[in-house]
Amino acid sequence: MTTTINIPAVIDPVDRPEGDPAGSESLATSLLSGAVRLTEFSEEALLLAESKWYWAGKAAEAYGDHAKNFAQRHQPMGETLKRVARGVDVFADQLRTLQSDHTTISSDITSYHRERPDLITDVNLAGEVAEAEIAALQERARALTNRRAGITTDITDLQRRVTENEQFLVQLFTGADTAAEASSPTGGISALALGAIGRKPSAADGPKAMNAWWNSLTEAERDALIAAYPDQLGSADGLPASARDAANRLRLDADLAELEMKERDGTLLPEEKQRLANARATRTALEHADGYVVPGTDDRPGGQLWLYDPDAFGGDGRGAIAVGDLDTADDVSVQVPGIRTEMDDVPGGVDEATRLYESARYNGDGSSVATMFWLGYDTPAGDLLEWGEVPSEDRAADGGARLAAAVDGLRASRAHDPAHMTAIGHSYGSTTTSYAATDHGLAVDDIALIGSPGTGPADHASDFSVGADHVYDGRNSRDFVAFLGDEGWVRKDQFFDTGLGMDPSSEDFGAHRFEAESPERGWGPNFGDHSRYYDRNSESLYNLGRIVDGHGDDTNSASQSYDPWWRDPVDPEWDRDPTSGEAGRSKTGLTP
Amino acid sequence: MGAVGLLAFLLSGCSPVPSNPRAVLEAKAAAIDSATQDVLDSLRAAGLDDATAKGHVDGCQSEPTPGVSYRAGISAKAGSDLAGAFDALVEQLDASGWKPTDAYRDVKMDPAKPMGRFVRDDITLDVATGGASSGGVWYGADEMQLGVTIKDYCVRVPDGGYISKVRDLAKDILPRS
């Protein structure tokens, strides 16, 4: 009997996507440089248009009108050129991805072509063989056919994406190649982007609607949108973190290019100085996140710029950077900072995020992790002269709403693949987190409060959205700020009522208290011990890592403080010897 | 007004920012590097020749009172007899003035993978063997890993991302000869 075994055909080689990503990026930089020159030009013209005390009359008015008109015509040209520059940047990024994908497909084809002749040889040699061997050969042929089908699909997909990327570039340039288009408010915006942005829901529709809209778009539409409207996408709750990251990096690069060029030219406006400082701090922090490798390992999680808003809150700015992939990580944490945290503090916050990441991975169960430093609210300044505003809970209340919205956005961006999420509030950030959990249904799984001056509206851990069993507290016994919270009924409103609610380490509050002492702690209450919760090889960082990894039930418990009516509050941790770097207690990384 | 007085009290309890934080950190780094080189000598004397050492810069303390610190990490191939290598090193450390502490007194230790903490002046040396896992991957199963830290490790720095100005202090630490 003759048995037929169908050997799948060879696969033709695939053309490598043409182009040079680095060259395209260089073009983008040149275009941006031209855009900045146009912007400077129009700003200078506006200055010239202002009336001067030493020159009046009809000639002066005519000159002013002309200069103003000149500025108004050049300003949109600069904006158009900026959009084109951003578009070329997006094209370059996509081209790099396509070329990488081409390399992968070519490797798959090579592997396929190695296995195919082997199968042909084995079939030819088979002759009279047992049924089992025939079945095995047929199975190999089937598997090879399936692989061919998969590779063919990948090739088709690659070719479609290459075409879309090239069309995107063509549209980008043809949309701004006449004087009229360059001067138009939509110059350099592709038809794809214009069509897609028209369907974008408003923020009021909620992050789920935003996510549904994003999922309805083609890859080409998404690229076009990121290039044209990074300002709108970079902070759109509900979008995947990768999309927000791409948009925010474009904005950051554009800000740095523009403002540093203006600084060199001496045309930086006073109100732009703070923006440049914020952009530089963000760059420093992002570079650290991007290049971070967990000490002693080859684990390089990468960074994501989830929020970049350098002009927010009167120039204090908003920013959030993650270490790890927020779109795919099994465990995601959000660190909420406290008083006096502004954008120049983001590098320090990201450094804490790397230490938290290291701890969660080192003491974890092998799950993937992303830790995000989130400065998304207007923290109190905490300056001596402004101390009066620190005890106010207004900013914590506002920040709580913002934090809950941010977490809702993260949740909506991966509704079908929910992460285990933890919010960690430090200092005033713990009060902010308390507001989010009490008044806005903060949609995390676990909450950890460290160095808390009080829990705002929450009188008991059960007031939190996560339930009392998922509320954790770390308090260094010498942390003065943690003394400010209300301790029982006797010590309520102690220290001139500077506290911000209940002390979460107290037995009355009912949270799980974990060990958070430091061998470097002071002899008495002090401010330094308020800042040691993210220190490497500390008890606090060990326990925070366990909570982030989803094992809050396996932290090292500390006894809660209590308030006997006949004496001062008692903190049982006061007399315990702290540990540092001890396995299972305070060791937070592979390297000692 | 009571609150202003309170803040003044709080701030007075903080370690002040030194006039030149980098110089303070460099001095601590130099002490750690020197101690690390001593440990490299001890490792070689204990028959662990291929040890490598690196100095790391970390952040410590959070805003608004941030700090930076410096520590060194050493790794050395120790083969399959980790306990034997550990004992040989302890002998050399003892000869060079390191004193064991009872830091791991309460830790249930695998005798085949001993650990220990030693001090000399204001320097602390942690020794671990057999590696550990991170992210589900086991690293350094046949290695001895050591960490060198200093008392009062955290140097206060100005608010606002100062750490980026001292990251360049991270480096490979080479043996003396």
User: Tens of pLDDT along A33-71?
Assistant: 888 888 887 787 777 777 676 777 777 787 777 777 777
Structure-token pair, residue A247: 């948009």
The residue of B4, B39, B61, B89 whose CB has the most chain A CBs within 10 angstroms, and thus the best one to mutate to test that interface, is: B61
Give every CB contact of residue B58 below 8 A, 6+ residues apart in sequence. A351, A355, A536, B68, B69, B70, B71
Q: Is the dihedral of CA A24, A29, A33, A39 positive or negative?
A: positive
The string of pLDDT tens digits covering residues A572-582 is: 999 999 998 88
Query: Which among B4, B153, B160 has CB closest to A345?
Result: B160
pLDDT: which is higher, A4 or A432: A432
The confidence band for A175, taking pLDDT boundaries of 50, 70 and 90, is confident
Query: Is residue B175 domain-resident?
Result: no
Give the pLDDT of residue A248: 97
User: Per the CB < 8 Å rule, is A495 touching B6?
Assistant: yes
User: Per the CB < 8 Å rule, is B58 touching A339?
Assistant: no
Structure-token pair, residue B85: 């290598």
The residue of B11, B36, B56, B63 whose CB has the most chain A CBs within 10 angstroms, and thus the best one to mutate to test that interface, is: B63
Query: Which among A284, A294, A340 has CB closest to B134?
Result: A294
User: How close B43 comes to chain A (CA, Å)?
Assistant: 16
CB contact at 8 A, A554 and B76: no
The residue of A286, A387, A549, A590 whose CB has the most chain B CBs within 10 angstroms, and thus the best one to mutate to test that interface, is: A590
Interface A-B, measured as beta-carbon pairs within 8 A, has a size of 177
Residues in B closer than 8 angstroms to A300, CB to CB, are none
Query: Is residue B70 domain-resident?
Result: yes
User: Per the CB < 8 Å rule, is B60 touching A535?
Assistant: yes
User: Per the CB < 8 Å rule, is A531 touching B67?
Assistant: yes
The string of pLDDT tens digits covering residues A358-382 is: 999 999 999 999 999 999 999 987 6
Give the pLDDT of residue A384: 39
The string of pLDDT tens digits covering residues A239-252 is: 999 999 999 999 99
Residues in A closer than 8 angstroms to B164, CB to CB, are 284, 288, 347
Helical (H) or strand (E) element with A270: helix A270-291
Give residue A552's identity as a one-letter amino acid code.
Answer: G
The string of pLDDT tens digits covering residues A261-286 is: 889 988 888 889 999 999 999 999 99
Q: How many separate domains does chain B show? A: 1
User: How close B142 comes to chain A (CA, Å)?
Assistant: 14
Residue A534 in this model has a pLDDT that exceeds 70:
yes
Query: Is residue B28 domain-resident?
Result: yes
Query: Is residue B39 domain-resident?
Result: yes
Give the pLDDT of residue B106: 62
pLDDT: which is higher, B114 or A308: A308
Give the pLDDT of residue B146: 94
User: How close A574 comes to chain B (CA, Å)?
Assistant: 18
Residues in A closer than 8 angstroms to B147, CB to CB, are 581, 591-592
CB contact at 8 A, A469 and A447: no
Give the pLDDT of residue A128: 72
User: How far is residue A433 from each of residues A313, A335, A486, measured CA to CA in Å?
Assistant: 19, 10, 17
User: How close A227 comes to chain B (CA, Å)?
Assistant: 30
User: Per the CB < 8 Å rule, is B147 touching A531?
Assistant: no
Residues in A closer than 8 angstroms to B10, CB to CB, are 480-481, 526-527
Query: Is residue B6 domain-resident?
Result: no
From first to last of its 177 residues, chain B has per-residue pLDDT tens of 234 344 444 444 456 889 999 999 999 999 999 999 999 999 999 999 889 999 999 889 887 788 999 999 999 999 899 999 999 999 999 999 999 987 766 666 778 889 899 999 999 999 999 988 898 889 989 999 999 999 989 999 987 778 888 989 999 999 987
Query: Is residue B75 domain-resident?
Result: yes
Query: Which among A349, A526, A581 has CB closest to B126?
Result: A581
Which of helix, strand or coil describes residue A144?
Answer: helix
CB contact at 8 A, A367 and A549: yes
Q: How far from chain centre, in Å, is Cα A530?
A: 26
Residues in B closer than 8 angstroms to A361, CB to CB, are 134-135
Give the pLDDT of residue A355: 96
Residues in B closer than 8 angstroms to A384, CB to CB, are 4, 7-8, 11
Query: Which among B2, B15, B139 has CB closest to A496?
Result: B2
User: Per the CB < 8 Å rule, is A535 touching B3?
Assistant: no
- Return the percentage of chain A with pLDDT > 90, whole number: 59
User: Per the CB < 8 Å rule, is B136 touching A366?
Assistant: yes
Give the pLDDT of residue A389: 47
Q: Map tokens 């002066």 to a residue.
A: A60
Q: Which domains does chain A have, with CATH numbers?
A: 21-263 (no CATH), 329-575 (3.40.50.1820)
Q: Which residue of B has its CA nearest to A520?
A: B152
CB contact at 8 A, A515 and A467: no
Query: Is residue B2 domain-resident?
Result: no
Query: Which among B7, B66, B147 has CB closest to A591?
Result: B147
User: Per the CB < 8 Å rule, is B136 touching A527?
Assistant: no
| Residue range(s) defining the domain that contains residue B55 | 20-167
Of the segments A383-387, A434-438, A475-479, which one has the largest average pLDDT value?
A: A434-438
Give the pLDDT of residue B123: 96
Query: Which among A361, A426, A590 has CB closest to B62?
Result: A426
Q: Provide the mean pLDDT of chain A.
A: 89
Helices (H), A175-269: 179-183, 191-197, 207-215, 219-228, 230-233, 241-265
Q: Rounded CA gap, A91 and A165, in Å?
A: 6
The string of pLDDT tens digits covering residues A92-101 is: 989 999 999 9
Phi, psi torsion values for A570, nearest 5 degrees = -115, 130
The string of pLDDT tens digits covering residues A383-424 is: 533 444 455 788 999 999 999 999 999 999 999 999 999 999
Give the pLDDT of residue B13: 46
Residues in B closer than 8 angstroms to A317, CB to CB, are none
pLDDT: which is higher, B109 or A145: A145
Structure-token pair, residue B23: 């110089």
Which of helix, strand or coil describes residue A287?
Answer: helix
Give which of A444, A405, A428, A544 is closest to A481, Cα–Cα: A428
Query: Is residue B8 domain-resident?
Result: no
